[in-house]
Amino acid sequence: MRWYWIDRFIEFESGRRAKAVKAVSLAEEHLHDHFPEYPVMPHTLIIEGVAQTGGLLVAEHNAFAEKVILAKVSQAEFNGEAMPGDILTYTTDVEYIKKDGAMVVGTVHRGQELFGQMELVFAHLQTGHETRTLYEPQTFLKMMRMLGAYDIGHADDGSPLVEPAEMFD
């Protein structure tokens, strides 16, 4: 992943739910280009932040063994604009994880206000992509570490979230 659109996880329950926060800062370059002299965070980047939150949740559930990609934004709705100084909280709940992919429902809160909601579908890439390098699974492990998922996360049984041993090879 080239850009991170979340700052840190505040909740991570393997295969079920994740919450992450994003502080919208005037230091971000995209705010200067989107609308000159009227900095707002584009909704597409907010969707990407929710997709990163949900995508890492889906990928971690299968120990990063599947190539998980965002396949479809089924629905997205926003109430207003995100401006510098806003703290966005992304919550993703897994609707299902199947062999071919997964679906998560995401919400975005600005403070206590419901700011946006969406449904995202992820695909697990199947045959024909085994030799193609779309990303290295270790990249996601590093991202999970950096964003604090292993510090606050827990597995289905309530035990602390553990990094997959096969990722160390």
d(CA 68, CA 58): 8
Q: Is 61 a catalytic residue?
A: no
d(CA 4, CA 106): 17
DSSP letter, residue 167? G
d(CA 46, CA 107): 10
d(CA 55, CA 102): 9
d(CA 133, CA 161): 27
Strands (E), 38-157: 68-78, 87-97, 101-110, 113-124
Catalytic residue among 30, 34, 109, 129: 34
d(CA 127, CA 18): 29
Among all residues, which ones are annotated catalytic?
34
